[in-house]
Structure 1
Amino acid sequence: MESLFHPTGNQHILDRIDKLTPIKLSEWGVMTVSQMMEHCKMPLQVVYGTKHIKVNPLIKLLFGRRAKKQFTSAHPFGKGMPTAKEFKVNFEPDFETAKRELKELVEKFSREGKEGIKVTDHPLFGKMTYEEIDVAQWKHLDHHLKQFGV
């Protein structure tokens, strides 16, 4: 699996983001391409410490460990995975703004490396290593880029 920390893997994701267009249709799910990019910004903002979410402690206890395993394993995500309510986008973002901001957040991963990660205690998954954070972020971006055929 590629790494967002590594410049080559990071550029690979950026190149795929660049292939998105405002009229790109999803192969599954209900998000528009702009909503998807807005959605993809949020987990990056969580690890950078600029977005804060709270998870019900019971949900964390019941599902946190299993969800962490799914997000950090080598297996790709399945279609139709549930989205945390905090990450749902219920408006239509400006395409160019969402694209530019997502690219900036992805670039930061490689540019700042581990020093850019401010939150390693995930609200649902619990304590995560930098490698687990990298895998989870990569898989999430890859999943949604595939959703839009890039």
Structure 2
Amino acid sequence: MKSLFETESHSEILSRINKLNESSKGLWGKMEVGQMFFHCQFPLNLALGRYEMKKPNPIMKLIFKSFKKGLYDDKLWKHNMPTAKPFKVVDKKDFEPEKEKLITAVNDFHEEKNRTSWEPHPAFGHFTHEQWGKMQYKHLDHHLTQFGV
């Protein structure tokens, strides 16, 4: 799996984001493109310490940990996978401001490419630096593919 810490992968993600416009439609799912941009900011901002997610109860934490490897391995995610409640977006979001905020979050995360210490994820626990980079790339790739880019 590619990593958002890699310069080439970072540039690729930015290029794909910039191919979208307000009328871009998803190939699956219910989100509009502005909502997708907003949704994609959550994991980046969580990693950067800008978003606090409520920790799940112990049973849910065990369930989440069973899916942990799937967040950063090479296997693509299925279409229409359920979204965790804290990351669901139901309100309409404006395209341009959300696009700019996503680009900022992508750039800020990429700038952490030399960071050696990360806070544990509230639901999944500890990730290595490499796993954080792969997980962020995989999430963005999934949603950009959802919108045909």
- Whether TM exceeds 0.5 here: the answer is yes
Structure 1 contact 49–118 (Cα < 8 Å) conserved: no
* TM-score for the superposition, normalised by structure 2: 0.93
**Which position in structure 2 is the counterpart of 1:57?**
58
Structure 1 segments of 4+ aligned residues over 3 angstroms from their partners: 117-120
Match of 1:138 in 2: 137
Match of 1:27 in 2: 27
Question: Does the Cα contact within 8 Å between 1:120 and 1:130 map onto a contact in 2?
Answer: no
> What is the aligned partner in structure 1 of residue 88 from structure 2?
88
- In the superposition, relative to structure 1, how do residues 77 and 25 fare at CA in structure 2: closer, same or farther (>3 Å)? same
Q: Does 1:122 align with 2:121?
A: yes
Distance 1:42 1:118, change over 3 A: farther
Which structure 2 residue ranges, 5 or more long, are not aligned? Answer: none
For residue 60 of structure 1, report the CA deviation from its aligned partner.
Answer: 0.4
Instruction: Name the residue aligned to 2:48.
Output: 48
**CA separation in 2, counterparts of 1:16 and 1:52?**
28
More helix by share: 1
Q: What is the match of residue 6 of structure 1?
A: 6
Structure 2 CA distance for partners of 1:121 and 1:99, relative to 1, 3 Å: same
Q: Work out whether residues 47 and 118 of structure 1, in 8 Å CA contact, stay in contact via their aligned partners in 2.
A: no
Size of the aligned set, in residue pairs, is 148
TM-score normalised according to structure 1 size: 0.93
> How far has the Cα of 1:114 moved from its partner?
4.0
Shift of 1:98: 0.4
Give the 3-state SS of the residue equivalent to 1:112 in structure 2: coil
1:59-94 Cα offsets, whole Å, 9 max, x none, are: 002x12222111121101111111111101121111
Distance 1:131 1:88 in 2: 26
Unaligned runs of 5+ residues in structure 1 are none
Q: Distance in 2 between matches of 1:94 and 1:108?
A: 21
**Alignment CA distance shift 1:71-1:44 (3 Å):** same
